[in-house]
Structure 1
Amino acid sequence: MALWRIRATVDDRPGYLSVLTASLALRGVNILTVQVHTTEAGAVDDFLVDAPDALTEDDLVAAVERGRGRHCWVARSEARGLVDQPTRALGLANRLVRDPDALGEALRTLLGATAVTWRAVPGPARHGGPGEAMWLSDPAGGSFEIVRDAPSFTPAEYARAQALVDLATTVVRQPAERVALVLADGTELTVRPATGDDLPAVRELHEHCSPASLRRRYPGGTPGPARLARLLAPARGLTLLAVADGGVPPDLGGPDRVVAMANLAAEGHLAELAVLVADAWQRRGLGGALLRRLVAHARRVGAGALTAHTGAENTSVLRMLDRHGLPPATVERDASLVSVTLPLLPAAPPVSAPRDVAI
């Protein structure tokens, strides 16, 4: 007996899978595992089978076609193929938690790819049709191109691979972006990326800000819960929170309270930034510290310019931007609204940073 992988598309209708399996059974083929991938063209069935040694690849293809299967792909397999795909994906995720730099090899193993290439520019977000590459978005910037000869990628494989990329990015970000911040007066805070679970704490932050502070941050009006939720998880960008650590007195919010929020939302080469600091924490250097981290992140993801929109009376934002050594700003005034745009020089990449190289 020999192990084979078979992949074929069948109509997603009752009884069609049983016709295919019956055709294989007539040739003495024992199905060990099966996965069903839903696609627009029908259900893609992925089998691991144990077939008699006398059967050839052509014999298996013929059996599949007699069972109403189409677009058949057949290849010899090994004993490790007995591990089902969900288990394999979990094992690779566990590896990435310990070693996020192994992402390229994890993607190659998960998908049986012939090449995994990181590119410095975004790619088309698609799983790829017959003969096409799969493109995965890299949340840290750029994209991954995945190539294999056959079979074609399915939406399920795309979702699993993108989940691995997102996991590796999260693992890398956690130690780099969760930092302890000590203000000039010795007060300690924690700065970390926001998540959707922070919505109640962020709403509380807004409740403890004066109308004047909210007006400077939101010239167009304070957002409701739905917009706040989107600010916490921008599709392209970063939201940072400053959280008061233990020992902070009640008049400053007490421990474990979000006391400031900084947002960076990217659109094309332009990144918009904004900072909201609770009144009791203003004029202590906290807004500038968060701003520095947003500027550094914008450089890392390749933003070409920064923009900020604020009330005309909010001169503190202009002063903060001026302190960061950025090129001269373009300032536009429209009644009570001020828009500031600054060119952003890219950060020098580390020597080992990949640029359009195969992983």
Structure 2
Amino acid sequence: MTLWRIRATVDDRPGYLSVLTASLALRGVNILTVQVQPTEHGAVDDFLVDAPDALDEAELIAAVERGRGRDCWVARSEARGLADQPTRVLGLATRLVRDPDATGEALRTLLGADSVSWRPASIGLDRGIVGASMLLADPAGGSFALRRAAPAFTPAEYARAQALVELAATVVRRAAEQVTLVLPDGAELTVRPACADDVAGVLELHEGCSARSRHRRYLGGAALPQPARLRRLLEPSRGLTLIASAPASDGVAESVVAMANLLGEGDEAEVALLVRDDWQRRGLGSALLRRLVGHADRAGYAALLLHVQAENTPMLRTLRRLDRPSVAERDGALLTLTVPLAVPAPVERKGTFLTPGA
């Protein structure tokens, strides 16, 4: 028996696929996998088959045509073709997460392309597919051009390829946003934007914090936040969340030791910090707060808001280290601190004005 790949187009009507498979079965062809890709010209059926050694390419094409298939393409396959398409795509995605520079090779493997090239610009060219040529948008700029002799590309293949390119661009962007932070005592941490995949690590952070630290962060209690709430904090609709990670005791894994949230609403953004107890009073909170302020400045927010318990001396000290004036309004044991980011018009406002170093 010999492995073959067969691709053919059939009318997208009930029963037409069964006619094609019956024609193959009459010749002893065993269908191992099949994918159906809708197009405007009909359904493109992509088969991996095990056929008798006596059948050659011409006979397989004839069997397809007798089964109402058209635009048939047939080629020998290898055992690795037995991996189904979702498994292959996930494998390539995993490779790109580790090495986004391998985008071209991943596209070649995914689509069996004869050539893959990157172009800095595609002026006058429409991204999409034309027969056996494909042009993909690179979110980082430019585009990827792919060609193969046969068969023609399908819209489903284009969508898969574009998803891989966007994944690689996201990995590159996140790597560029990641920095190494050196604290005054020489400790090194990794600081980067958070994502939904950080829920488990951030939950461990909360578990490693004292009830007092959690209460100071959330004001309303010391209970562990639900995973759904953590996801919203990690990927806010407006704003930014940073996490700081330190090498674990095994020297391989990293553990999240701090989370800094910037949650935008209107022209203001609320800021909150949570630092694991053994990393407090080491300058980490100040460093994270400065990064959030810089992001808020660039994003065009008018002011930052911080809700702090009056007895939370460490957080008030961290705010003063920003060396920016702030306005404080007190409601019982709660202080609401406003840090202007733009030069505002003079406004009458009740409260105490905190000068830097006060």
What is the TM-score normalised by the length of structure 1? Answer: 0.57
Aligned length: 248
The equivalent residue for 2:304 is 278
Q: Please give the alpha-carbon distance, in whole angstroms, between the structure 1 residues aligned to 2:71 and 2:65.
A: 9
Secondary structure of 1:199's partner? coil
User: Is there any run of 5+ residues in structure 2 with no aligned partner, and where?
Assistant: 184-188, 197-230, 240-260, 307-318, 325-341, 345-358
The equivalent residue for 1:141 is 141
Matched, 1:128 2:165: no
Are 1:201 and 1:258, in contact at CA under 8 Å, matched by a contact in 2? no
Q: 1:29 to 1:135 in 2, by over 3 A?
A: same
Shift of 1:256: 9.3
Rg larger for: 2
Q: Please give the alpha-carbon distance, in whole angstroms, between the structure 2 residues aligned to 1:36 and 1:256.
A: 52
Out of 179, 199, 205, the residue aligned to residue 236 of structure 2 is 199
The one-character-per-residue Cα deviations of 1:25-45 (angstroms, maximum 9, x if unpaired) are 112211111111111111100
Q: 1:200 to 1:85 in 2, by over 3 A?
A: closer
Secondary structure of 2:7's partner? strand
1:278 is matched by which residue type in structure 2? L
The equivalent residue for 2:3 is 3
Q: 1:282 to 1:38 in 2, by over 3 A?
A: farther
Shift of 1:47: 0.5
2:300 is matched by which residue type in structure 1? V
Shift of 1:205: 3.5
Are 2:271 and 2:304, in contact at CA under 8 Å, matched by a contact in 1? no
Secondary structure of 2:5's partner? strand
What is the TM-score normalised by the length of structure 2? Answer: 0.57
Shift of 1:279: 5.8
Q: Please give the alpha-carbon distance, in whole angstroms, between the structure 1 residues aligned to 2:190 and 2:108.
A: 41
Secondary structure of 1:153's partner? coil
The one-character-per-residue Cα deviations of 1:184-235 (angstroms, maximum 9, x if unpaired) are xxxx99563889953356498444xxx8x56xx9xxxxxxxxxxxxxxxxxx
The equivalent residue for 1:339 is none
Q: Please give the alpha-carbon distance, in whole angstroms, between the structure 2 residues aligned to 1:122 and 1:243.
A: 44
The equivalent residue for 1:56 is 56
Higher relative contact order (CA 8 A, sep 6+): 1
The equivalent residue for 2:83 is 83
Q: Please give the alpha-carbon distance, in whole angstroms, between the structure 1 residues aligned to 2:263 and 2:130.
A: 47
Matched, 1:70 2:70: yes
1:129 is matched by which residue type in structure 2? V
Q: Please give the alpha-carbon distance, in whole angstroms, between the structure 1 residues aligned to 2:12 and 2:155.
A: 16
Secondary structure of 2:300's partner? strand
The one-character-per-residue Cα deviations of 1:318-352 (angstroms, maximum 9, x if unpaired) are xxxxxxxxxxxxxxxxxxxxxxxxxxxxxxxxxxx
Secondary structure of 1:128's partner? strand
Q: 1:51 to 1:86 in 2, by over 3 A?
A: same
Q: 1:153 to 1:182 in 2, by over 3 A?
A: same
Shift of 1:180: 6.0
Cα RMSD (Å) of the superposition?
A: 4.3
Are 2:21 and 2:67, in contact at CA under 8 Å, matched by a contact in 1? yes
Matched, 1:41 2:41: yes
1:128 is matched by which residue type in structure 2? I
2:108 is matched by which residue type in structure 1? R
Shift of 1:259: 4.8
Q: Please give the alpha-carbon distance, in whole angstroms, between the structure 1 residues aligned to 2:170 and 2:98.
A: 12
Are 2:262 and 2:292, in contact at CA under 8 Å, matched by a contact in 1? no
The one-character-per-residue Cα deviations of 1:1-38 (angstroms, maximum 9, x if unpaired) are 22111100111111000000111111221111111111
Matched, 1:106 2:100: no
Secondary structure of 2:130's partner? coil
Q: Please give the alpha-carbon distance, in whole angstroms, between the structure 2 residues aligned to 1:29 and 1:279.
A: 69
Shift of 1:245: 5.8
